[in-house]
């Protein structure tokens, strides 16, 4: 018998979220970031729903290959660029664009003898301190890239924000100013804002916005859900009850016997666990729903099963649907109980979960 865990992807929500992003972005172009298998939602299905974006952002050439194989002709940007000189030929073959963030990549380009001009995005490190060149090198690097016959002269200038989800933190304003100062007078489009930058920092909109989490209805700010910003969750994770047991007061539940029954009570057992991607770190009290009734996780999450306090669902029975997250149970709430972020939850759904599509 197959397992019951199912992730339903709401394609209408993806399209609505893209429309909402466009409204917020005004005249800026939109890059739909679909890395990590579209944040766990499925690369091909999400790219199909998000085909109205101006470009796709991916983490690897392999993802670019998947998109081209699925028939997408939009611009595709490999966000970490080439790892080896041989990657450049594959990028050209697939008509992918490369983010250039390190001298080793620049050297690869300068060693080339020719080839179809490659579109590149020049990444400047204005304060994230992860990838990118020092801002004071912007003019030097821009000139070197434009001098290469194998590089398209229409270079996009970009940076990445470290704390744009903290709307009262002036680091983003300082990063923005560093970027503007470093690129002043240089030709080319600008790309600064990620999802949080789009929401909280209109002065950093630029010519492109690179949006990931918001497209999937995921919050980018602590204490907020995607719905708080007008975005709809694109995934509902469900399973079914495989047992409902009566347990006596004082008995303990699950591995480590960490949760004690405060009274004689019925406990539901759901067919999902960390083997499916439900977080093992979810604490007792993490909310779920049995049918339309609220319930909560009790004891430790195990690999295949989840014990539930079903006292608020007195009519619960084997076979009832259990919702782990979705439009009525925000992923952000579950993430908070598990000590993580919503992105990690959706990215962590495993291959043994059945994926289906819902397209209203």
Considering 39, 216, 255, 343, which one is annotated as catalytic?
A: 255
Three-state SS at 169: coil
Question: Does residue 224 carry a catalytic annotation?
Answer: no
Of the candidates 276, 265, 359, the one whose C-alpha atom is nearest the C-alpha of residue 324 is 276
DSSP class of 282: P
Any idea where the domains of the chain sit in the sequence? Answer: 11-218, 235-358
Both tokens of 79, joined, read: 């966000």
Q: Where are the beta strands (DSSP E) in 212-332?
A: 235-247, 252-253, 259-260, 265-270, 287-290, 293-297, 306-309, 321-325
Tell me how far apart the alpha carbons of residues 350 and 70 are, in angstroms, rounded to a whole number: 22
Mean pLDDT for the stretch of residues 307-325: 97
Percent of the chain with pLDDT over 70: 99
Q: Are 294 and 287 in contact (CB under 8 A)?
A: yes
Q: Tell me, which fold does domain 235-358 have in CATH?
A: Lyase, Ornithine Decarboxylase; Chain A, domain 1 (2.40.37)
Give me the pLDDT at residue 113, please.
Answer: 82
Contacts of residues 278-283 at CB distance under 8 Å and 24 or more positions apart, as own/partner, are 278/237, 278/306, 278/324, 279/334, 279/335, 279/338, 279/340, 279/344, 279/345, 279/348, 281/338, 281/339, 281/340, 282/334, 282/337, 282/338, 283/337, 283/338
Which is the catalytic residue, given 29, 35, 216, 274?
A: 35
The confidence score (pLDDT) of residue 34 equals 98
Q: How far apart are CA 244 and CA 327, in angstroms?
A: 26
Asked whether the CA dihedral 202, 342, 233, 283 is positive or negative, the reply is negative
Q: Look at the alpha carbons of 275, 278, 281, 285 in this order and tell me if their dihedral is positive or negative.
A: negative
For residues 220 and 17, what is the distance between their CA atoms, to the nearest angstrom?
14
d(CA 50, CA 306) in angstroms, rounded, equals 34
Tell me the C-alpha distance between 250 and 264, whole Å: 8
Pure H helices in 147-186: 171-183
How far apart, in Å, do the first and last CA atoms of the chain sit?
30
Each residue's pLDDT tens digit, 92-133: 999 999 999 999 999 999 999 878 899 999 999 999 999 999
Q: Is 29 a catalytic residue?
A: no
Report the C-alpha gap between 301 and 279 in whole angstroms.
7
Residue 265 DSSP symbol? E
- Reply yes or no on whether the pLDDT at 1 is more than 50: no
Q: pTM of the entire structure? A: 0.95
CA-nearest of 281, 268, 214, 260 to 241 is 268
Sign of the CA dihedral running 45, 46, 49, 53: negative
Question: Which two tokens mark 334?
Answer: 């579950």
Vertex 316 angle, CA 273 and 357, to 5°: 55
Q: What digits encode the pLDDT tens for the residues 180-227? A: 999 999 999 999 999 999 999 998 989 999 999 999 999 988 889 999
Give tens-digit pLDDT for 132-161.
Answer: 999 999 999 999 999 999 999 999 999 999
Q: Give the tens place of pLDDT for each residue, 272-293.
A: 999 999 999 999 999 999 999 9
What is the dotted CATH code of the domain comprising 11-218?
A: 3.20.20.10
Give dist(CA 349, CA 314) in Å, integer. Answer: 29
């Amino acid at each position: 018998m197959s397992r019951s865990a199912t992730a339903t992807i709401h394609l209408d929500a993806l399209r609505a979220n893209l429309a909402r992003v466009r409204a917020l972005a005004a005249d800026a172009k939109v890059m739909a970031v679909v890395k990590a298998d579209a944040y766990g939602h499925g690369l091909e299905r999400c790219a199909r729903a998000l085909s109205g974006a101006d470009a796709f952002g991916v983490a690897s050439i392999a993802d670019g290959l998947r998109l081209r194989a699925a028939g997408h002709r939009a611009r595709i940007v490999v966000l970490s660029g080439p790892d080896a000189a041989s990657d450049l030929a594959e990028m050209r073959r697939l008509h992918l664009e490369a983010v250039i963030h390190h001298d080793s990549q620049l050297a690869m380009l300068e060693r080339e003898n020719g080839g179809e001009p490659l579109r590149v995005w020049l990444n400047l490190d204005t304060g994230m301190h992860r990838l990118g060149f020092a801002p004071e090198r912007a003019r030097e690097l821009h000139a070197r890239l434009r001098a290469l016959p194998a590089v398209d002269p229409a270079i996009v200038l970009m940076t990445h924000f470290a704390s744009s989800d903290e709307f009262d933190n002036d680091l983003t304003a300082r990063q923005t100013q560093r970027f503007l100062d470093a690129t002043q007078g240089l030709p080319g489009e600008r790309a600064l804002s990620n999802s949080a930058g789009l929401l909280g920092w209109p002065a950093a909109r630029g010519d492109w916005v690179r949006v990931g989490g918001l497209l999937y209805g995921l919050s980018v700010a602590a204490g907020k859900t995607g719905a708080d910003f007008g975005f709809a969750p694109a995934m509902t994770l469900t399973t079914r009850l495989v047992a409902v047991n009566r347990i006596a007061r004082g008995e303990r539940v699950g591995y480590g016997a960490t949760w004690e029954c405060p009274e004689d009570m019925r406990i539901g057992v759901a067919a999902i666990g960390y083997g499916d991607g439900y977080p093992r770190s979810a604490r007792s009290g993490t909310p779920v729903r049995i049918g339309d009734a609220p319930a909560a996780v009790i004891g430790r999450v195990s690999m295949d099963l989840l014990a539930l306090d079903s006292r608020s669902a007195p009519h619960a029975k084997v076979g009832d649907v259990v919702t782990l997250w979705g439009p009525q149970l925000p992923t952000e709430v579950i993430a908070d109980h598990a000590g993580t972020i919503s992105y990690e939850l959706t990215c962590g759904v495993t291959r043994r979960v059945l994926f289906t599509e819902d397209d209203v």
